[in-house]
Structure 1
Amino acid sequence: MKIISRMMTVVVLLMSSLAMAAETRRPNVLLIVSDDQGYADAGFQGSKEIPTPHLDRLAKSGVRFTSGYVTHPFCSPTRAGLMTGRYQQRFGHERNPFYDPSDHTEGLPTSETLLPAHLVRAGYATGWIGKWHLGAAPEFAPSKRGFQETFGFIGGGHKFREWKTNAVVEYTVPVERNGVAVEPPEHLTTALGQEAAAFVRRHQSEPWFLYVAFNAPHSPNEPTPERLARFASIADPKRRAYAAQMSLMDDAIGEALGALRESGQAERTLVFFCSDNGGPLGPNGSVNTPLREKKGTVYEGGVRVPFLVAWPGKIAAGGTDDRPVSSIDVFATALAAAGAPMPTDKKYDSVNLLPYLTGEKNGAPHERLFWRNGQLRAVREGRWKLVHLPKQAPELYDLSIDIAETTDLAAKHPAEAARLGAALDAWERELIEPVFAGLGAERPGQPNRKTKKQKQ
């Protein structure tokens, strides 16, 4: 009996220690980014046309930020800010870079340390899946910036199916696993979801950070014929293909989230979802209702995006939050969740959202949010937003009652307009000029203006 009693004591102690280890283990961080998604184009955003059951489930499990923003109305600058926790204009990444593996200037400057590198130092396994768009030269590769496992393409866009690989044409460059080209998958969006799920299952025994950057629903949307047929009721062919591509992406996201649940990791995983900029409308069939304008602009339709944060058991489920937050906040929030120190070597703009999400802090995470795309500038402070376009008088909007930015109040509230204009000027003095030529000034909603001969 004494032997049995001792064995039971050992078992109880072992189970207790395992339970304590599970409770104290640092959380995983899953960051999912869509590409050129319209503000209205998800079930949790009110769409009746495009069902997104997996994203809707994620929204119900966490918080939907109704004033979630990105730092730029184009793809690459937003991603640069996201990975560094800094306004990308601070280090000159204000344009979409060329796809040119021989150009050692066209990419996120190597003077910047990215989020995955910080998390590797904290003992995290790190992975990147999908679209990179932060430079094509070898020194800009995700494997050189802190990602230990990689699967995806280096450029700014890609075909989804039935392509012939061509290393010098951006939308058909090789899809690579850890730097080695793989056979083109049957459908790229589906493959990205499968790779994400495999990463989740592979790293059950250690904390991890996974960045899944879909190129959907950026054009050219190429859904499978079967998925396209589900949306036959949509008359516009671009909108129909877009809706089908969104549906495929939602399923791919569902595969990754399903792997979290099936492997018992859901309650120890902090999940972020956002788009990289507003929808371009006509070019890909997206809808930004009720917002004004589109990708490329600093009106709400260019920079306000679907934005979700979930962490079961830590963040209350099913809530909405109208406080302005930004994609740059992923940086500080992820580091705080991981127990990693926030770097102090430079000026960082990222704010840890966790105390605001748990109720430990009240008020707004940011006093102001800023945007600059060439000569297009804007600042938001609370209810007020100032938009300043070239050769035009500044415009002032009260977003608390005018989310569509229809009524310019600058003449009615000149003091507010002047004060915000001064704040915008002061912020701009902290920035530097773009450090690479990039693709020129991308016209709102249109492909980048080519300043070199290449496929966009």
Structure 2
Amino acid sequence: MNLLRNTVLMTIGATLSLLGACSHGTSNSHNKQQSNVLFIITDDQGYGDFSAYGGASDAHTPHLDELAQKGVRFTNAYVSMSVCSPSRMAMLTGRQQQRWGVYNFGAQLPDSEITLAEQLKAQGYQTGMVGKSHYGPVQGPGVPEFPTSHGFDYYFGKEGGTMDYLRHKAADREGFTEKMANHLGIGPFWENDKQVDMEGYSTDIILDKSLQYIDEYKHHPFFLMVSFNAVHLFTHQIPDEDLKLMGIDKVPDWDPGTGDWDQYLEWYVNTVKPHTPQGRQRYLYHLNKLDDAIGTITAKLKAEGLDENTIVVFISDNGGSPRTYADNTPLKGNKYILEEGGIRVPFVLSWPGHLPQGKVFNQTVSGMDIFPTLHAALDMPLPENTEIDGVNLMPYLLGKDDSNPHEWLFWTGFHLKGKPRTYDDPNGALARHDKTYYGDETGWAVRYQNWKLRYYGRADSYGLYDLTNDYSEEHNLAVDHPELVEQMKQRFFQWNEKIKEDHVKYDLPESSEF
């Protein structure tokens, strides 16, 4: 089915490209007719680690701030999950990833799901992704989760949840088990179906490849997704010359000759927060390099005369991680859990001449909205016979609709009702590793207008918060509003049952949890 669909999409894309070239003459005039799309996604960036949001006092992101001034900055933007691969899938498809059974890190992207890259490719766009791809386990080309299987003409990056900042050669994997090397993200980059050894710091490599892509396709409408691994762990990794300039010591990486997986976990928990020396300083190094890279990319668009004709989307895949010294101020919680700090993220949309500049949008939006919004902006038809969970934001941003784009939003944790995990050694590395989630990753959450209901699975209890007056979720009002709690509970279960109807289509087994 996927082969047939891709063949049809490529045929349509080729036909549209040919028609565009004939009707508009030169490629430059064709470029003016179709706006480019630059989609920048960061990894585990804290809500407070974007200075335009006024959170952490030591976070300075001048280039991101400039991007926000040129577009719309969203203050109540959510992702569909508190961890990366599920939320990235939802953004790329405009659909809740629970529809095809993804509730946590167990990622899969079925052949039948249609991505933004496939849609734009069918409109004649060149489509490329540079950086981290985390739509499934590390498997290489040919599987549905690999970017070139889902509409990207070009892919340069690494699969998996973690990307090593410095070790990018096949030889760097020697001495590691495959599981451990994959978990650490050590080894060469994929360039389409070939592996390529690289040297240097990952943010610089991603930047250079992104600039090369823009150079190659600047005379043709393009969709470029730049997926940085910054500021994901392991943030202790900094090039030696920069460590010297910073005046701080190198933190040793894991030596596979010193033990097995249990010893690796021991190293892990003793390397991440709170045990990383100068941990916040190291995190800010990666944040500053990330901000500089984004500034270089946007400056490239301006230098090439493309900035007025490019839609720029910026978003973080989930909240800041408690393991890296990220700061989600003023929100409570972090990546892995369903408090605001895990699911509310910085989000900016810029399109000069089409969207307001310097606008702050305070209504509720979702990363899933990127998909239908770009379709509307570019006058593309949405996929047929596909229920899109995102909302087209254009009428709201242009002042044609002053209602709330999402009166309701829903989230599932790692389990709808989690049972406390037991450990053979409650003080062992695995137990301490899991505690670094810093909260209850189970249960579920609902946002209804200004209200948020949080079901804490392990404690089998509820928290109700008025986010307008209490975005730090400090005051539980569940006892004061029992009818509202019941209404939101029932609405969640109705949503969940509706989502589960799609499980039959994907031949998913019945689950007592979901």
The TM-score bracket by the shorter chain reads 0.7 to 0.9
Q: Which residue of structure 2 lines up, in the alignment, with residue 75 of structure 1? A: 84
Q: CA deviation at 1:360?
A: 2.1
Task: Choose the corresponding residue for 2:45, options 32, 37, 41.
Answer: 37
- Give deviations 1:77-136, integer Å, cap 9, x for gaps: 001111111010011122214xxxxxxxx6212221111011111111100011111123
Q: CA deviation at 1:154?
A: 1.5
Q: CA deviation at 1:225?
A: 4.3
Q: CA deviation at 1:420?
A: 1.1
Instruction: Give the AA of the match of 1:382.
Output: Q
- Give deviations 1:229-261, integer Å, cap 9, x for gaps: 67669x952211110011111111112111111
> How has the CA–CA distance of structure 1 residues 323 and 236 changed in structure 2, closer, same or farther, with 3 Å as cutoff?
farther
Higher mean alpha-carbon deviation, 334-343 vs 263-272, is at: 334-343
Distance 1:229 1:272 in 2: 35
What's the TM-score once normalised by structure 2's chain length? 0.76
Q: How many equivalent residue pairs?
A: 413
What's the TM-score once normalised by structure 1's chain length? 0.85
Question: 2:28–2:220: 8 Å Cα contact kept in structure 1?
Answer: no
Distance 1:19 1:66 in 2: 38
Distance 1:306 1:201 in 2: 28
Distance 1:184 1:190 in 2: 11
Task: Choose the corresponding residue for 1:268, options 289, 309, 330.
Answer: 309
Higher mean alpha-carbon deviation, 192-201 vs 160-169, is at: 160-169
Q: Which residue of structure 1 lines up, in the alignment, with residue 272 of structure 2? A: none
Q: Which residue of structure 2 lines up, in the alignment, with residue 108 of structure 1? A: 109
Higher relative contact order (CA 8 A, sep 6+): 1
Distance 1:231 1:286 in 2: 19
User: Is it true that 1:406 corresponds to 2:474 in the alignment?
Assistant: yes
Question: 1:197–1:257: 8 Å Cα contact kept in structure 2?
Answer: no
- Give deviations 1:122-181, integer Å, cap 9, x for gaps: 111100011111123422211111000111001221111145433932111321222222
Identity over aligned pairs, percent: 35
Instruction: Give the AA of the match of 1:75.
Output: C
Question: 2:43–2:84: 8 Å Cα contact kept in structure 1?
Answer: yes
Question: 1:232–1:240: 8 Å Cα contact kept in structure 2?
Answer: no
Q: Which residue of structure 2 lines up, in the alignment, with residue 103 of structure 1? A: none
Larger proportion of helix: 2
Task: Choose the corresponding residue for 2:156, options 142, 151, 155.
Answer: 151
Secondary structure at the aligned position of 1:406 is classed as coil
Q: Which residue of structure 1 lines up, in the alignment, with residue 378 of structure 2? A: 338
CA RMSD of aligned residues (A): 2.5
User: 1:278-427 alignment to 2 at 5 Å?
Assistant: 278-281=319-322, 283-373=323-413, 374-375=415-416, 376-390=443-457, 391-427=459-495
Question: 2:31–2:220: 8 Å Cα contact kept in structure 1?
Answer: no
> How has the CA–CA distance of structure 1 residues 148 and 22 changed in structure 2, closer, same or farther, with 3 Å as cutoff?
closer
Distance 2:340 2:245 in 1: 31
Q: Name segments (4+ residues, structure 1) moved above 4 Å.
A: 16-24, 225-233, 433-437
> How has the CA–CA distance of structure 1 residues 209 and 318 changed in structure 2, closer, same or farther, with 3 Å as cutoff?
same
Secondary structure at the aligned position of 2:488 is classed as helix
Instruction: Give the AA of the match of 1:193.
Output: L
Distance 2:476 2:392 in 1: 33
Distance 1:232 1:401 in 2: 43
Distance 1:53 1:429 in 2: 45
- Give deviations 1:5-53, integer Å, cap 9, x for gaps: xxxxxxxxxxx99899579612111111111111111222224313212
User: 1:130-209 alignment to 2 at 5 Å?
Assistant: 130-135=131-136, 136-137=138-139, 138-139=142-143, 140-165=145-170, 166=173, 168=178, 169-170=181-182, 171-209=185-223
Distance 1:249 1:86 in 2: 28
